[in-house]
Amino acid sequence: MGSNEGKHNLIIVSNRLPLSIKRVDGTYESSISSGGLVTALSGLTKSTQFRWLGWPGIEVKSNKDREEVSRTLNEHDATPIFLDSGLAHEHYNMFANRILWPILHYQSGVVFDDGPWQAYRRVNELFAAAIAEAAETGTLIWVHDYHLMLLPELLRNRLYEKNKHCAIGFSLHTPFPAGDFWRNLPVRKHLLEGLLSSDLIGFHTDEYKQNFQDTCAKIPNQIRYKNRLVCVGKFIVGIDPQKFAHTLQNPDVQDRIRSLEERYKDVKVIVGVDRLDHIKGLTQKLKGFDSFLEDYPELRDKIILIQVAVPSREDVKEYQELETELSTLAGKINGKYATPDGTPLLYMHRSVPFTELTALYSVADVCLLTSTRDGMNLVSFEFVACQEKRQGVLVLSEFAGAASFMREGSISFHPANTTEMSEALYAALKLDPDERRRKYEYLRDFVNTHTSAKWGQTFIEKLSQRCRQPGKAC
Ligand code: ADP
Ligand code: G6P
């Protein structure tokens, strides 16, 4: 994966691999996985070489089929860790996405269930066994995200048994909530202990890092646990802006941009791209947009909101219910405001190809992101990377991790306040050109400085120091 400037022997571990495998008509098909974690790690591949281990997203039973899936993934330097479908379902859908994910994002009403928790432990154990086998002394092991919070501890034990000395890093791609909320999870102590076997733990913002440290109730930046020093840091994740710049040069993308510009020449385009997930505040977005159309009737036929809701975690009941709610809301809004000349809302519940996504970002005048909580939100970075020409406006929820870095370059609002959202949209559409340019330049500089490559290299460098000098103060 990429040229090896990285001198390190590096293993990356995440639940989601860069390719997701599906079985269609008796054959295995792969597609690029969506989500910020894959985007950030894929952005690292140009500068850093690594092996990527994770779950292929599907149960594969026979040895012959496992070989086929492994071959496909190996072409992308990824190695599958196979899981039975029942176990994967309990781990991924029932614990990681129905219990842990909502708690990490401050959602109330989560019901703890011991069965899924046991599956979560089991999957973390299976991962630990596979990685301890793949690692050698000196390997840097970088574990990602909430699906694998027990892994650092289980892995450290396995490595110890095998007499392999490796440094273990962990990065969380979600918020880490305030201690009082985290307490809602009865197994929180086990998860913390799991994490604290890492040498280095990374969060996206100061707030998440602080919440974690407050929960561990220890001194800034370092925690002593079982007589080992654990370093904690903020590492700002980003994208690969050049990938977008190159894609925008592609003649087919240029054609597509021209055709979209022609299609929408009489209206301002507002774009939204989100996985279909509660934390993205899509219900709030549609309600806020409804308010906006109500508040500014003179703009109804002068704007369009193009909302891409990428299907996600479709086996989880809450995600299915959200999909039904959103399509009903979208239908209501269009029923209310559509005229024979058009509709103010274009709601797409599907995944769009990367080239189409790039063209869409590029023709938009405004990007509206309404997360109720969000680890970072890389869509905000991608919009900026595609706006060199148009210099559009980012309207960003104050609850996205990105808002703690982008406030000065964006228009910020509270996603539960429809009036605030409506006013923020209006302000974005009417923004003075000089102010728009100033804001855009601020964002562009931030996105170009905080790339995924820089994020990865900074983390790996720090982890490598921990490997060389585990006892040194952080
Ligand atoms: P999250 O990680 O919660 O989904 P982010 O905004 O951080 O939120 O990241 C979403 C990522 O998913 C972005 O990089 C976006 O480009 C990517 N994405 C969106 N649609 C698709 C798609 N159809 N295929 C692959 N990736 C996609
Ligand atoms: C978020 C999580 C990632 C996850 C992604 C997509 O970004 O932090 O760990 O991979 O969403 O979700 P999925 O469930 O499809 O992996």
Confidence at 7, pLDDT banded by 50, 70, 90? low
Angle at 90 between CA 62 and CA 115, to 5 degrees: 125
Average pLDDT estimate for 60-76? 93
Q: Is the pLDDT of residue 6 over 50?
A: no
Please check whether residue 267 is in contact with residue 302, taking contact to mean a CB–CB distance below 8 angstroms. Answer: yes
Q: Running DSSP on this structure, what letter comes out for residue 421?
A: H
Test site for ligand 2: of 41, 58, 275, most ligand atoms within 8 A of the Cβ = 275
Atom 16 in ligand 1: residue holding the nearest Cα: 379
In this structure, which ligand is nearest to the CA of 377?
1
Asked if residue 379 has its Cβ within 6 Å of ligand 1, the reply is yes
Looking at residue 219, its pLDDT comes to 58
Residue 141 to residue 131: CA distance in whole angstroms: 9
pLDDT reported for residue 4? 42
Q: What is the mean pLDDT of residues 354-362?
A: 98
Nearest CA to ligand 2 atom 12: 35
Whether 142 has a pLDDT exceeding 90, the answer reads yes
pLDDT tens for 95-137 read 999 999 999 999 999 999 999 999 999 999 999 999 999 999 9
351 lines ligand 1 (CB under 6 A): yes
Q: Which of 17, 39, 237, 406 to mutate to test the pocket of ligand 1 (most atoms within 8 A of CB)?
A: 39
Q: How many CA atoms lie within 13 A of 6 on its CB side?
A: 29
Fold of 241-449: Rossmann fold (3.40.50)
**Is the Cβ–Cβ distance between 217 and 185 less than 8 Å?**
no
How far away, in angstroms, is 379 Cα from ligand 1 center?
A: 7
Q: What is the pLDDT of residues 36-54, one digit of tens each?
A: 999 999 999 988 999 999 9
Question: What per-residue confidence (pLDDT) applies to 202?
Answer: 98
In angstroms, what is the span from residue 167 Cα to ligand 1's centroid? Answer: 29
Query: Do residues 87 and 123 touch, judged by C-beta distance below 8 A?
Result: yes
Integer Cα distance of 396 and 379 in angstroms = 11
Q: Which ligand is in closest contact with the Cα of 274? A: 1
pLDDT, residue 383, reads: 98
Q: Is the CB of 310 under 6 A from ligand 1?
A: yes
Hey, where are the domains in the chain? 10-237+453-468, 241-449
Mean pLDDT (the chain, rounded): 95
* Ligand number with the minimum distance to the CA of 14: 2
CA of 174 to the centre of ligand 2 (A): 9
Ligand 2 contacts (CB < 6 A) are 16, 35-37, 145, 173-174, 312-313, 375
Cβ neighbours for 264, distance < 8 A, ≥ 6 positions apart: 304, 363
d(CA 238, CA 469): 28
Ligand with smallest separation from the Cα of 281: 1
pLDDT tens string 418-448:
999 999 999 999 999 999 999 999 999 999 9
Strand partners, 16: 55
Ligand 1 center from residue 333 Cα (angstroms)? 25
The yes/no answer to whether this complex scores an ipTM above 0.95 is yes
Atom of ligand 1 nearest to the CA of 352: 23
Q: Which ligand is nearest to the CA of 33?
A: 1
Best CA proximity match to 66, nearest among 31, 21, 33, 11: 21
Confirm whether 10-237+453-468 and 241-449 share one CATH topology: yes
The answer regarding whether domain 10-237+453-468 maps to CATH 3.30.70.120 reads no
Q: Which ligand is nearest to the CA of 13?
A: 2
User: Ligand 2, closest atom to CA 20?
Assistant: 15
Residue 3 has pLDDT above 90, yes or no: no
- Indicate if the pLDDT at residue 169 is higher than 50: yes
Question: Which residue has the CA at smallest separation from atom 19 of ligand 1?
Answer: 34
Q: Record the pTM.
A: 0.96
User: pLDDT class for 378, splitting at 50, 70, 90?
Assistant: very high
Task: Using the predicted structure, report yes or no on whether residue 2 has a pLDDT greater than 70.
Answer: no
pLDDT at 27: 86
Task: Report which ligand 1 atom has the smallest distance to the Cα of 280.
Answer: 3
Q: How far is the CA of 141 from the centre of ligand 2 (A)?
A: 20
Q: Cβ distance 99 to 116 under 8 Å?
A: yes
Q: Is 280 in the pocket of ligand 1 (CB under 6 A)?
A: no
**Residue 187 CB less than 6 A away from ligand 1:** no
Amino acid (one-letter) located at 32: I
Nearest CA to ligand 1 atom 24: 34
Distance, in Å, from the CA atom of 101 to the CA atom of 190, rounded to the nearest integer, reads 16
Taking each helix axis from N to C terminus, what angle separates 251-263 and 241-249, rounded to the nearest 10 degrees?
Answer: 80
Q: Whose CA is nearest to atom 12 of ligand 1?
A: 35
Over residues 269-284, the mean pLDDT reads: 98
pLDDT > 70: percent of the chain: 98
Query: For 200-248, how does the pLDDT look when each residue is reduced to its tens digit (9 = 90+)?
Result: 999 999 999 999 999 998 656 778 888 889 999 999 999 999 999 999 9
Position of tokens 């197994």? 187
